[in-house]
């Protein structure tokens, strides 16, 4: 038996307890040998041998929580995500895009950060100064806010008399007039102004996103909002199915089908029907996404105690009542769906844990691999429950650092009493919880190496242009919540593969699928992990990215 490919002279990352290895052989889509040195009996005249010169060979990264189609759409529109956090820089980019695209009736884009503006929020007057003749709708980098101009508000019919919708908020000035920032479902009316995108545009967006993800070593992902339609997002289910049937998906993708909170249990038939339409090759839809709250920065995350520095006693929003949430999770588990929940605030985390505990008790034989994403604040009483219940902590580690936006906007809202429980990844792991890691791209960058650096050090990597603020590189955010480098790599590979039910991926071992990523150096020998570069990404034995 000859190998098709052999990677040698590599720092091979394996599961704990495995014998050290520097060589991996691949035949077809499968790893057939892991050991020391090249077995010459496996070398044929067509065997491709790659000498990594001592650099790392890792399992392919699996992003457990991302929105790639949304990211691809943003890249094809007015994309602010790669720009400096600066008001004038944003406005210049908007003006330039408008000038280049005079026939676009509505300018749509995304990627702005609140720390570029006084008090954390831009205004409609900012955009009016550069584009006032047509609506401009710009989604924030975290996809929880829309920044619009006056024309967009007028066409959407949003005035001082408009009430806040359920699950959303209209930011207003001292006179009650809309300022031009709309939070969560408050942006629905303006986003309805954006013309329907074509299937071809959606497909182009997916393939652009897949290209970018492969370039940073991602071999599979979970799309955490398949079917969602808000903040300019469009239903992407058919995009995935058609790309899979056409053989265009080179990654392994799990879809978390979107649960519409307003529609209740009657939507289950549609979700079941969608699941049955997947599985052609590399796309399945075995999860359902349930969103329970918003984010801390705009006070829509559901908290056990009121936010600090906010008038009144605002504790945020639970999008689904606890009673209804119990019904939803039990129904989904009974239908053999894994449940992927969004919970940022400590109250939302508790509500989700309570609901999942109920679902698990109702259906104890189902291996749901249920998971809760984000976990910005977790009450210490709830930390042991992840391990006890078997609920996966789906973490976005790149956020766990002292960015300017976190220090100036978020921590004052939490107060010192909650700061120690801010992204408590280490505590969850020490109490037996399973960690899976994802990026939430395009909320933040999809580079796993940047996130791994922050998971370990709780500081930013110098490779990330969005790591901004005093102390972001040298003052850890709750250093005791850091995890080891092997744990961080495991979370972004085997942990996420487990969360996605991709059980033949995530580990370098004989019989596993050959989903691999090669780096330009040994990840255990570099000080700033984020500066390491991907040189090659392999899915099922086939190279899907090679650095030029």
Report pLDDT digits (tens) over 497-508: 999 999 999 999
Q: How many CB atoms lie within 10 A of CB 177?
A: 13
Per-residue pLDDT at 93: 97
Strand 107-112 to strand 136-140: parallel, antiparallel, or no bridges (unpaired)?
parallel
CATH 1.10.10.10 describes domain 68-191: no
pLDDT band at 118; cut points 50, 70, 90: confident
Distance CA 120, CA 405 (A): 8
Mean residue pLDDT across the chain = 96
Give mean pLDDT, residues 104-113.
94
Task: Kindly report, as residue ranges, where domains of CATH 3.10.310.70 are found in the chain.
Answer: 68-191
> 297 forms bridges with which residues in the sheet?
none
Q: What is the pTM of this model?
A: 0.91
Six token digits for residue 370: 């249920």
Give mean pLDDT, residues 4-14.
98
- Scanning the structure block, which residue is given the tokens 């400096």? 84
Task: Kindly report, as residue ranges, where domains of CATH 2.30.40.10 are found in the chain.
Answer: 5-63+508-546
Question: If DSSP codes are grouped into helix, strand and coil, which group holds residue 533?
Answer: coil
E strand or H helix at 326: helix 322-334
Per-residue pLDDT at 119: 79
The Cα-based distances of 388 to 328, 360, 366, 381 in angstroms read: 21, 11, 16, 12
Distance CA 393, CA 372 (A): 6
Per-residue pLDDT at 313: 74
CA 369 to chain centre: 18
Task: Kindly report, as residue ranges, where domains of CATH 3.20.20.140 are found in the chain.
Answer: 283-499
CATH, domain range 283-499:
3.20.20.140
Per-residue pLDDT at 232: 60
Give mean pLDDT, residues 21-31.
98
- pLDDT of 309 above 70: yes
Six token digits for residue 342: 């969004």
pLDDT tens digit string along 181-231? 999 889 999 999 999 889 999 999 999 999 999 999 999 999 999 999 875
pLDDT tens digit string along 386-426? 999 999 999 999 999 999 889 988 999 999 999 999 999 99
- pLDDT of 141 above 90: no
Radius of gyration of the chain (CA): 23
Strand 5-8 to strand 23-27: parallel, antiparallel, or no bridges (unpaired)?
antiparallel
Give mean pLDDT, residues 454-471.
96
Six token digits for residue 514: 């050959």
CATH, domain range 5-63+508-546:
2.30.40.10
**What is the number of helices (H) and of strands (E) in the chain?**
17, 23
């Amino acid at each position: 038996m000859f190998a098709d490919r052999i990677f040698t002279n590599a720092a091979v990352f394996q599961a704990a307890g495995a014998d050290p290895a520097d060589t991996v052989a691949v035949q077809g889509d499968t790893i057939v040998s892991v050991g020391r040195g090249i077995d010459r009996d496996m070398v044929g005249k067509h065997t491709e041998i790659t000498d990594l010169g001592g650099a790392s060979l890792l399992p392919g990264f699996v992003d457990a929580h991302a929105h790639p189609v949304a990211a691809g759409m943003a890249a094809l529109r007015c994309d602010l995500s790669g720009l400096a956090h600066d008001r004038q820089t944003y406005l210049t980019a908007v003006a330039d895009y408008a000038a280049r695209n005079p026939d676009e009736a509505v300018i749509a884009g995304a990627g702005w950060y609140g720390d570029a503006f006084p008090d954390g929020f831009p205004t409609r007057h900012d955009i009016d100064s550069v584009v006032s003749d047509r609506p401009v709708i710009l989604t924030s980098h975290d996809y929880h806010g829309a920044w619009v101009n006056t024309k967009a508000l007028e066409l959407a019919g949003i005035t001082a008399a408009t009430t806040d919708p359920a699950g959303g908020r209209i930011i207003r000035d001292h006179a009650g007039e809309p300022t031009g920032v709309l939070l969560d479902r408050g942006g629905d009316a303006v986003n309805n102004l954006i013309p329907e995108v074509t299937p071809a545009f959606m497909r182009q967006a997916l393939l652009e996103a897949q290209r970018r993800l492969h370039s940073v070593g991602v071999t599979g992902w979970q799309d955490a909002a398949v079917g969602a339609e808000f903040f300019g997002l469009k239903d992407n289910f058919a995009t995935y199915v058609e790309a899979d049937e056409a053989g265009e998906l080179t990654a392994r993708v799990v879809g978390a089908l979107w649960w519409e909170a307003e529609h209740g249990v009657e939507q289950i038939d549609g979700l079941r029907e969608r699941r049955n339409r997947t599985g052609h090759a590399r796309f399945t839809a075995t999860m359902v996404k349930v969103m329970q709250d918003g984010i801390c920065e705009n006070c829509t995350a559901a908290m056990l105690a009121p936010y600090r520095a906010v008038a009144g006693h605002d504790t945020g929003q639970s999008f689904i009542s606890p009673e209804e949430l119990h019904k939803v999770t039990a129904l989904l588990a009974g239908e053999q769906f894994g449940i992927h929940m969004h919970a940022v605030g400590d109250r939302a985390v508790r509500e989700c844990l309570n609901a999942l505990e109920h679902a698990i008790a109702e259906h104890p034989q189902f291996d749901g691999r249920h998971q809760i994403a984000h976990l910005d604040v977790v009450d210490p009483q709830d930390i042991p429950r992840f391990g006890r219940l078997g609920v996966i902590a789906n973490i976005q580690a790149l956020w766990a650092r002292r960015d300017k936006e976190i220090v100036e906007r978020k921590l004052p809202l939490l107060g010192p009493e909650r700061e120690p429980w801010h992204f408590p990844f280490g505590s969850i792991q020490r109490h037996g919880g399973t960690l899976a890691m994802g990026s939430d791209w395009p909320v933040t960058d999809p580079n796993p190496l940047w996130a791994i650096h922050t998971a370990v050090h709780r500081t930013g990597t110098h490779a990330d242009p969005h790591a901004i603020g005093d102390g972001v590189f040298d003052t850890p955010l709750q250093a005791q919540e850091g995890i080891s480098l092997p744990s961080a790599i495991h979370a972004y590979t085997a942990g996420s593969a487990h969360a996605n039910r991709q059980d033949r991926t995530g580990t370098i071992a004989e019989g596993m699928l050959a989903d691999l990523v090669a780096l330009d150096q040994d990840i255990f020998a570099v000080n700033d992990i984020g500066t390491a570069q991907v040189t090659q990404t392999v899915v099922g034995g086939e190279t899907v990215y090679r650095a030029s």
